[in-house]
Amino acid sequence: MFTILSRMIHTGILTEPLPTVAVGAPSTEALQRSLWKVLGRALCIRHVDAGSCNGCELEIQALNNPYYNIEGTGIKFVASPRHADLLLVTGPVSVNMEGALRRTYDAIPDPKLVVAVGDCGACGGIFGQSYASWGSIANVIPVNHTVTGCPPTPAALLAGILQAIAASGAEV
Amino acid sequence: MRDITVVRQFGEVVLAIAIAPLFVGWIAQCRAWMQNRSAPLLRQTYRMLRKLFDKDAAMAATASPLFRTTPYILFGTMVLAAAIIPSLATDLPFAHAADAIALIGLFATARVFLSLAAMDIGTAFGTMGARREMMVGFLAEPALLMVLFNAFLLYGSTALPSLVDGYRAHPTVIDPSAIFAAVAFVMVLLAENARIPIDNPATHLELTMIHEAALLEYSARHLALLEWASGLKLFNYACIGFALFLPWGIATNGADSGTALLISIAALLAKLVVAGAALALVESLSAKLRIFRAPEFLAMAFLLAVLGLLVHLLLGTKLA
């Protein structure tokens, strides 16, 4: 118990500042402001693995650690699509996961956003479009934003989520 | 005179509803700091509630009227409980309407409705959550009753306001049985409010969750009301704890002045800040127990409360 206590005290706050979004995109502060305005800085994410290799999942998990600390910015992962505002989908959508993905999308209350993650989510990646996979998430449900990379870094994921919110500011 | 107590009662309820999310936010903030993270803002809980009220409710096709009404029933029972518990003053019209045993019955009513609503949709996780909620409930209730019996033996009443008044009459006495009861009460509080040794409020794994599994099918305003109700429940339990073991600052029958009320508000806030930090510390230092260990944990709470009773009978102290 005292070991844990002393580690708590000596480690200090590890969280890094939010990533700066790529050139041409609005600044992180502007994104943050619109995020506060639009969703009251209280976004809930539901993650669906639609046939991913779990590379993207490892990076998504990293968002929850103390360094990236997505909860500190007011965004959190939830256990049910009914609680969610944003659907984070990975994988090329295997045929067997298509029904589950559609039902998850339908279960999310409006207004809702979809972010496709990874090269598989964007274009099918190394799996492509075949008898066993739909090739990209946009072929199954409407996608608001795509984060490419195999796998994308946690910083890219965070920037992508913020951009998706900023881009759809008017309708959400 | 009568009007003043009604206004005070109304103020107490409004204050409870308003600061319950703040208390939850404070605990979340302390937890984040103890995990070496930057914490979300204190008003994060309010933002979440506002967002949920703005969203459209998505409902399963199999939802019955029971499912729709449960959030309102739960919120209502928790507000009623907040009105009964003397968190600020003891001479409240509602405080004498029900004693502590009726209060436990009120919490049990809320639990029955939540469990029924969780089973209503017919999903596996909802039913599992309902079963677990009932299991934790029926183990925690006797322990909580024993804790209250400790206080009843000391002050000779089952009404919370009389307990506070009784304590205030003998403020310097620290009874050993009260210490046993206090430890047992904290264990019951952790179990009843889905806190870490029994349940993890931050978990996303359906197989380990208890309270949240019952809420999985709720969305938007219904979810907001249920979250708010669980915040109120935590606030209510904290206030029962303050009334039983730390009643300093609560305005008693004798003191009717505005300053006494101001002091009681300040004392309540100070106690909540300390209790929230302590709760977060307990949660950070302990690991979640396997569900099959929950009976042992709650049996321990029961045992401690019974030990308190025995100590009391052995020492033969009676203060009121």
Lowest mean pLDDT among B11-20, B35-44, B269-278: B35-44
The larger pLDDT score, comparing residue B278 to residue B55, is at B278
Residue B24 resides in a domain:
yes
Instruction: Return the pLDDT at A30.
Output: 59
**pLDDT tens, residue by residue, A36-72:** 455 646 888 999 999 888 999 999 988 888 888 888 8
Residue B320 resides in a domain:
no
- pLDDT of residue B314 exceeding 90, the answer is no
Q: How far is CA A24 from CA A109, A170, B44, B140, B180, in A?
A: 32, 20, 30, 57, 63
**pLDDT tens, residue by residue, B73-122:** 999 999 999 988 888 877 777 777 778 888 899 999 999 999 999 998 88
> How far away is chain A from the Cα of B140, in angstroms, using its nearest Cα?
26
Angle at A14 between CA A12 and CA A16, to 5 degrees: 145
> How far away is chain B from the Cα of A130, in angstroms, using its nearest Cα?
32
One DSSP character per residue, chain B reads: -HHHHHHHHHHHHHHHHHHHHHHHHHHHHHHHHHTTSPPPPTTHHHHHHHHHHHSPPP--TT--HHHHHHHHHHHHHHHHHHHHS-SSBS--TGGGTS-HHHHHHHHHHHHHHHHHHHHHS--HHHHHHHHHHHHHHHHHHHHHHHHHHHHHHHHS-SSHHHHHHHHHHSTT---HHHHHHHHHHHHHHHHHTT-TTT--TT---TTT-SHHHHHTT--HHHHHHHHHHHHHHHHHHHHHHHHHH--TT-B-TT--SHHHHHHHHHHHHHHHHHHHHHHHHHHHHSPPPPGGGHHHHHHHHHHHHHHHHHHHHHHT----
One DSSP character per residue, A66-124 reads: TTT-GGGGTEEE-S-GGG-SEEEEESS-BHHHHHHHHHHHHHSPSS-EEEEEHHHHHH-
For residues B55 and B219, the answer to whether their CB atoms sit within 8 Å is yes
Residue B156 resides in a domain:
yes
- Chain A residues whose CB is inside 8 A of the B208 CB are none
**pLDDT tens, residue by residue, B120-141:** 888 888 898 899 989 999 899 9
The larger pLDDT score, comparing residue B178 to residue A88, is at A88
Angle at B100 between CA B99 and CA B104, to 5 degrees: 120
Q: How far apart are CA A168 and CA B317, in angstroms?
A: 68
Lowest mean pLDDT among B21-30, B70-79, B138-147, B157-166: B157-166
For residues A168 and A144, the answer to whether their CB atoms sit within 8 Å is yes
User: Band of the pLDDT at B188, cuts 50, 70, 90?
Assistant: very high
B120 CB within 8 Å of a chain A CB: no
For residues B245 and B185, the answer to whether their CB atoms sit within 8 Å is yes
- pLDDT of residue A22 exceeding 60, the answer is no
Residue B31: Cβ-neighbour burial (10 angstroms; 0-12, 13-18, 19+): buried
User: Band of the pLDDT at A170, cuts 50, 70, 90?
Assistant: very low
- The average confidence (pLDDT) of chain B is 85
B63 CB within 8 Å of a chain A CB: no
For residues B181 and B305, the answer to whether their CB atoms sit within 8 Å is yes
Residue A76 pairs with which residues in a beta bridge?
A: A44
Q: Round the CA-based radius of gyration of chain A to a whole number and report it.
A: 17
- Chain B residues whose CB is inside 8 A of the A11 CB are 36
Nearest-by-Cβ selection for A109 from B34, B55, B205: B55
**pLDDT tens, residue by residue, B255-299:** 566 778 888 888 889 999 999 999 999 988 888 888 888 899 999
Nearest-by-Cβ selection for A77 from B39, B204, B218: B204
User: What average pLDDT does the segment B192-196 reach?
Assistant: 86
- pLDDT of residue B32 exceeding 50, the answer is yes
Place of tokens 């870490």: B196
- B51 contacts A15? CB cut-off 8 A: no
User: Band of the pLDDT at A171, cuts 50, 70, 90?
Assistant: very low
Residue B223: Cβ-neighbour burial (10 angstroms; 0-12, 13-18, 19+): buried
User: What average pLDDT does the segment B188-202 reach?
Assistant: 85
**Phi-psi category of A84—alpha, beta or left, where left has phi over 0 and alpha has psi -120 to 50?**
beta
For residues A166 and A31, the answer to whether their CB atoms sit within 8 Å is yes
- Chain A residues whose CB is inside 8 A of the B32 CB are 69, 71-72
Instruction: Return the pLDDT at B261.
Output: 81
Residue A146 pairs with which residues in a beta bridge?
A: A116
Residue B188 resides in a domain:
yes
- pLDDT of residue A25 exceeding 60, the answer is no
Instruction: Return the pLDDT at B274.
Output: 94
User: Band of the pLDDT at B237, cuts 50, 70, 90?
Assistant: very high
Under DSSP, the state recorded for A44 is E
Number of residue pairs across A and B with CB atoms under 8 Å?
89
Under DSSP, the state recorded for A126 is T
First to last CA, chain B: 27
Nearest CA in chain A to B29: A72
Strands lying side by side in the sheet with A43-49: A75-77, A43-49, A86-90, A113-117, A145-147
Nearest-by-Cβ selection for B219 from A12, A73, A109: A109
User: What average pLDDT does the segment B192-216 reach?
Assistant: 82
Query: Which pairing describes strands A86-90 and A75-77: parallel, antiparallel, or unpaired?
Result: unpaired
Range of the domain at B264: 2-315
For residues B91 and B65, the answer to whether their CB atoms sit within 8 Å is no
B277 CB within 8 Å of a chain A CB: no
ipTM rounded to 2 decimals = 0.81
Tokens of B208: 């380990």
Instruction: Return the pLDDT at A40.
Output: 47
Tokens of B206: 């359906």
Instruction: Return the pLDDT at B209.
Output: 82
Lowest mean pLDDT among A107-121, B30-44, B180-194, B199-213: B199-213
Tokens of A1: 């118990």
Nearest-by-Cβ selection for B50 from A5, A40, A73: A40
Tokens of B82: 């907040």
> How far away is chain B from the Cα of A48, in angstroms, using its nearest Cα?
13
User: What average pLDDT does the segment A147-165 reach?
Assistant: 86
Instruction: Return the pLDDT at B255.
Output: 56
- pLDDT of residue A147 exceeding 80, the answer is yes
Amino acid at the residue B221: R
- The average confidence (pLDDT) of chain A is 82
Place of tokens 């106690």: B271
**pLDDT tens, residue by residue, A69-84:** 888 878 888 888 998 9
Number of domains forming the structure of chain B: 1
> How far away is chain B from the Cα of A62, in angstroms, using its nearest Cα?
13
* CATH code that applies to domain A42-167: 3.40.50.12280
B218 CB within 8 Å of a chain A CB: yes
Nearest CA in chain A to B205: A79
User: Band of the pLDDT at B320, cuts 50, 70, 90?
Assistant: very low
User: Band of the pLDDT at B48, cuts 50, 70, 90?
Assistant: confident
**Residues of chain A above pLDDT 90, percent:** 22
A37 CB within 8 Å of a chain B CB: no
Amino acid at the residue B95: A
- Chain B residues whose CB is inside 8 A of the A8 CB are 34-36, 284
**Residues of chain B above pLDDT 90, percent:** 34
Torsion of CA B291, B209, B299, B86, to 10 degrees: 180
Instruction: Return the pLDDT at A101.
Output: 93
Instruction: Return the pLDDT at A41.
Output: 67
